[in-house]
Structure 1
Amino acid sequence: MMTGKALITGASGFIGFHLAQRLLVEGWQVTGIDALTDYYEVSLKHARQDILQANPNFRAVEERIETPGVLLGLMAQEKPDLVVHLAAQAGVRHSIDAPESYVQANLLGSYHLLEAARAHPPKHMMMASTSSVYGANAKMPYAETDKADAPMSFYAATKKANEAMAHSYAHLYALPITMFRFFTVYGPWGRPDMALFKFVKAVLQGEPIDIYNHGDMRRDFTYVTDLVEGIVRLGSKAPGADAIGPMDSLSPVAPYRVVNIGNGAPVGLMDFVTAIETALGQKAEKRLLPMQPGDVPATWADASLITALIGPLPRTDVATGVARFVEWYRAYYKA
């Protein structure tokens, strides 16, 4: 496994924190940039960052990636071997209320990173996309070679734009770029705006939980350390000139590839709620609601490409993963 210098954008976020921890264990020197924005409780981001800063091989930079010159200066200074771009304004529903923040962080921020990588090319640049780009696709499981031209939310639209932007830079400047599409990531230190966090908090406080589409939802829930394992293994698989088979999304004109990171096994939302009730030892009061704007009823990853590239990933089952989150939540919030 390769080691060296890594730059992680969004390093104090949920996924960035877990990835930084893993790379530090592997012997990497890690620089993490994060704006510590108040989209959700900043204290949680500070707590993650404090853990990372206890390692002498971690350097924290508190800046916005969309600020001109910040990433260019950081790349010139650090000259990282690996760049993992996780910083973004997240959330499907929030993008309806505050689209401007998605333009700034997701579009402008990613542009500044691409320009910085053009000036100081890493060995491999990895950029986070999302399963939301599959949008209105009815065919499942979602394969990387499927069209993704009908986004259902502005968040998804900005991520699809990131993919197109990255492809152009990969082609023009021979930058090896892997875009990875996440599928409903969950686990300890997760985001408070996501369903697992909100459900656990509500049940413990004796409040009802909101169940959209009357519970007829399926998600390809991916435990965070399984996802990180995929990112780490893909790190040493920079796109080259040769496709590995008909399922490969490798561009014919650029060192660029899109890869799903998911379990390939969707779970019903009500089964997910049952796992939460079991882990907490108490029942949830459920408030059944219609589908929300911008949401989709199901996600399901075709995992054949990532398996062909790096072998099978660990697959933490939902009952185990939810129980680990509940254990963390109770300890962190003394609940």
Structure 2
Amino acid sequence: MTERYAAEALIDYAEALFAAAGLEADKAALVAPLMVEADLMGHTTHGLQLVAPYLAALADGSMTAAGAPEVLSDRGPVVVWDGRRLSGVWLTATAVDLAVERARQYGTCTVSIRRAHHIACLAAFLERATAQGMMVTLTCSDPSVASVAPFGGTRAIYTPDPVAVGIPTSGDPILIDISASITTNGLTNRLHKEGRNLEHDWLIDADGNPSKDPSVLFTDPPGTILPVGGLDHGHKGYGLALIVEALTQALSGHGRADPPEGWGAGIWVQVQDPTAFAGADAFTRQTDRLAELCRTNPPRPGVEAVRLPGDGALARKRTALADGVALYPGIIEGLAEWAGKLGVAAPTPL
């Protein structure tokens, strides 16, 4: 029988681990629920799975445990921070909250962050804005990491470069979380450790041959993940990645032209307040209609119904909150060593 855990117990566990590892109390209290939020939504490679490597980063000093970002520029609706290698999860949540506050005043606000640590699951941040009637766009990249080749190439130069957008409606928000690559580093790393292949040829080996075997990413020289569109239309994912790289690195002033600093992120957050445009009612009138047209679209054979991005994640979240969280195998076990080191008691299954 699959063990399930109360979401609050998992949040308390993650918070206690981070606090014991030296992360400031206010940061631990903000980061922990966002890590669990990813698991609630079904993004199991970007939730509690990442707590152990984050604790390791706190231990070796590659994640800064205390303090605030350096404000490089603040023009009201445009803010630029140097993240000082602080928790990327904390920085991103703080940036979304600031952008929501400033968007009420200016109609829109953009926060650009350089030199953050890793930011985990982008989808987990979206409802911080949509719950307040705001539209949010969030994207990130890691200028010290490369796992995706440009279309037509064989050597990696950028990361999967995810993009997330939260769109309010009068009901559930539309929660989009996609990337410029076909798959992610988190999934390929997990499958490689488990000795399993991807479902399709989403990779190429070092010679440019298509492959579904994650081991091709760990050769010397390594293969790469393919951009969205694959060998056929990969120029689309390639173009999207270039946009993400410019937004997250060029605008913040730190990127691939600088010496690598280790696992981290450049971040770009933008929030729009519909009341500053045609109005909140006009906005949701359009987004409600769009949602209706999608959900009532006749499904193709083998498809039960057309869903909107976020429908599955929100359904999984409601089920997990009601029945308990079923974590991906190995996550609790992977935290046990840290719990022992830090003197933190593990949660008890329901």
TM-score (norm 1): 0.31
Instruction: Compare relative contact order (CA 8 Å, sep 6+) and give the higher one, 1 or 2.
Output: 2
Normalising by structure 2, report the TM-score.
Answer: 0.30
